[in-house]
A and B are shown apart, each in its own frame.
Chain A
């Protein structure tokens, strides 16, 4: 099922361009041109993310609308990203005071926004559908309670999370921070220190190229280079079609078969650069 995004903006050009961009990226897009209409639509369709313009018919319409969301139990969980053309220093009029925790505004973006930036922000904050969200965050409580009270549990919990998801999703970290009652920064500090933990979903197939010394001597680095050129991605990145994720690894412990690469669980030994196309074409 496609994720729904609601755009609320009075600028027709922005609506059209953004709709095209988001639809091309696989989202379902709805739009409204003022706060009232937007509020109605949010209640009707329950989108997974709202992109809300700050200044519409009057200067603080966006902020007022966001406050209205916050006060309505039916929609207050829907994440909102605020977009504004106004410079933050002079006329940023949002008084997101009353109860900031409850406000659904996740981020304020300043126009102009590049398409790449916008897509990234959308990906970051989009709410998963109820089922998906439960699936995502559901197991955390169990894992956390299993390890609760044990010293030094964070890394072990993160391992279990990554085993389930293949990476450590942002919303899971949020949830974890809440359950364990530790700052989110503590969690991210650990995730980003260790190479093993990933913040983005890896591709469908994981390609690990060994660049341990034995494989390096026999051409492991050139193999990696060839793969990168062939798939047009860098190490630690997923191909645009989501099929492959490339990572160099230090040693697969199969030095007798060097140079070695591993796709998912299958190890390919004595790989020649020329074999890469044949090997990759087996995966889809």
Chain B
């Protein structure tokens, strides 16, 4: 880890009269042991009677280096330390604060560097403020945008500002946010609703959780501005029940906002009234789809219904409803505060602003990152992600979760924006970015994502319910080496049918992982189908286990472990695997101490 210093921002400097320590207490930090670090610091500070303000903060995004703590002393820089254990924390406390020597040699190995390539708008407060303290948020320009809107803006002004900013929905499709709001604004109705979609179901994506846990007030503020603009008096936050900490912090934030009269009747002396409620998801991926989500808030099974009418016209309980994703809403206060043209100056021609990605998989520095639109995938993976784990070869990057596709290594220089990703057969999605190396089999990956969609299909429409299952069967056949010549053609036909005939986004996009792997890794499919081999060595059914007699010490371990009785041999006789009996379980391969079994 290199030595570097995070620049102190002007606001934090104002109230920087005393030493400050903030420990990252989000779900991932707690999992890595941040609570113990916090307790140890608390005890030591009390024992020594130090004048230190110890607070919690959200996730700074560097998941690979959790637990994280940030330390600052009056007039000094803010330094972020990673990989902290209770004893390291005490050492840092001693050297940095007690001895007042932040640049002590012994501390350098714990100091973390935030890549200068990141631009943090959505994550501006994550890892900086105490998420359970509304004053901390207000000190960081919180609710300034909302006050400004109430005071100086008409609904048209807000729409105009958003139009200038070019903000598009961060939940997947990239629909312009101002249009969505404008549709709902123009519909005459006695009641309108705002919904925050926090049903983050994509495996490998957790930016919404991080924002809800690290900066809940910014999401609330975004919803309030939305409510004011479209004329809604009520909002719902739909959050996964699997995120208990996020639910706790959002509920607390709502209470605090109500106490400060940011929520309720006649907010801040104006005629605008707005209230918020939390509703919990219950583990159904399809509820990320907006019509299914509405059904779920209504207390029903989360089955989608055909659109149009769109929710902006006829949504929750038949009333005009704006549904925005967490990340979209967190952008709103920053846009209003800094102006739409500021936002529009970041990013590419058609995709403005930044995007948060959950960079995971076979990459060195896993975590949450926020980069301007238009950055190439190579920059993200190598400059921010630090390159591939164990310095292996990168094979592909997957974006968009189960609705997205893979981007092969030779296209890594593509700038990331909505249009480019779509052209490559993937989508932006909610922002999972999963790096795969040479050991990953594309058929296995396609099978994984399709299996996910099959499991999560609500079963309402036949193309999704039946098509998905049939495609999965074919993929399983391919992985087991039982594929027939026309199976790939069948896959393509079924994909097309699902895309054209499914009711909602889940079914329409379920085939994307298959289509995009077929597009870029056709050769790998062919090897599976024709040669019955898996180049990456993932598909177990395709291994041929052979004992190499030169390396075999005739210990008999493999014979004892073989559950199928497919191995014969003794001290005198050479050991042999009888292919006709072999069930490809891989037991022998794993137990052999001499690596005498090839596959």
Contact = CB atoms under 8 A, between A and B. Distances in A.
B63 A256 contact: yes
Interface in A175-220: 189-190, 193-197, 211-214, 216-217
A258 interface: yes
Contacts of B204: 212-214, 251, 255
A212 B242 CA distance: 13
A52 B224 CA distance: 62
Interface stretch (B25-33, B84-92, B572-580): B25-33
Interface stretch (B354-362, B376-384, B419-427, B502-510): B354-362
A262 B391 CA distance: 29
B307 to A, nearest CB: 20
B434 A217 contact: yes
A158 B281 CA distance: 11
Contacts of B124: none
Contacts of B6: none
Contacts of A256: 28, 32, 63-66, 360, 366-367
A153 B283 CA distance: 17
Contacts of B436: 217
Contact of B302 (A193, A212, A249, A253): A193
Interface of A: 151-156, 158-159, 189-190, 193-197, 211-214, 216-217, 249-258, 260, 267, 269
B366 A255 contact: yes
Interface stretch (B11-19, B47-55, B291-299): B291-299
Interface in B361-402: 361-362, 366-367, 398, 401
B361 A254 contact: no
Nearest to B286: A193
Contacts of A212: 203-204
Interface centre among A151, A189, A251, A260 (most CB of B within 10 A): A251
20 contacts: A151-B299, A152-B299, A153-B299, A155-B280, A156-B280, A158-B282, A159-B280, A194-B282, A194-B283, A194-B302, A196-B241, A213-B204, A214-B204, A251-B203, A253-B243, A254-B27, A255-B63, A255-B366, A257-B32, A257-B63
Contacts of B122: none
B284 A214 contact: no
Given A151-B298, A217-B440, A193 B361 contact: no
Contacts of B241: 159, 196
B32 to A, nearest CB: 7
B240 to A, nearest CB: 9
Question: Which residue among A153, A193, A197, A252 has the maximum number of chain B CB atoms within 10 Å of its CB?
Answer: A193
Contacts of A151: 298-299, 317
B556 interface: no
Contacts of A249: 242
A258 B27 contact: no
Contacts of B366: 214, 255-256, 258
Contacts, number: 121
Contact of A255 (B206, B280, B296, B458): B206
Interface residues of B, number: 49
A258 B360 contact: yes
Q: Which 5 residue pairs spanning A and B have beta carbons closest together?
A: A256-B63, A194-B282, A196-B283, A195-B283, A152-B299
Nearest to A211: B203
Nearest to B300: A190
Interface of B: 27-28, 31-32, 63-66, 201-206, 209-210, 241-243, 279-285, 296-302, 317, 358, 360-362, 366-367, 398, 401, 432, 434, 436, 440, 448, 452, 458
A190 B204 CA distance: 27
A156 B32 CA distance: 31
A176 B206 CA distance: 35
Given A213-B448, A267-B31, A255 B358 contact: yes
A163 to B, nearest CB: 10
Contacts of B300: 152, 154, 190
A216 B367 CA distance: 17
A24 to B, nearest CB: 31
Nearest to B208: A253
Given A190-B299, A254-B27, A152 B434 contact: no
B282 A159 contact: yes
Contacts of A250: 201, 203, 242, 285, 452
Nearest to B31: A267
Contacts of A267: 31
Given A151-B317, A255-B204, A214 B282 contact: no
A252 B244 CA distance: 11
Given A156-B280, A214-B434, A254 B28 contact: yes
- Max chain B CB contacts within 10 Å: which of A154, A211, A256? A256
B398 A197 contact: no
By CB atoms of chain A within 10 A, which of B65, B280, B299, B440 has the most? B299
Nearest to A247: B283
Given A196-B282, A250-B242, A256-B66, 10 more contacts: A152-B300, A189-B301, A197-B282, A217-B362, A217-B434, A249-B242, A253-B243, A256-B32, A256-B367, A258-B360
Nearest to A194: B282
A133 B28 CA distance: 39
Nearest to A212: B203
A154 B300 CA distance: 8
B439 to A, nearest CB: 9
A190 B206 CA distance: 26
Contacts of B301: 189-190, 193
Contacts of B283: 194-197
Contact of A216 (B64, B281, B299, B448): B448
A141 to B, nearest CB: 19
Contacts of B358: 255
A173 to B, nearest CB: 15
A253 B209 contact: yes
Nearest to B296: A155
Given A193-B458, A249-B242, A250-B201, A214 B27 contact: no
Nearest to B358: A255
Contact of B31 (A154, A216, A254): A254
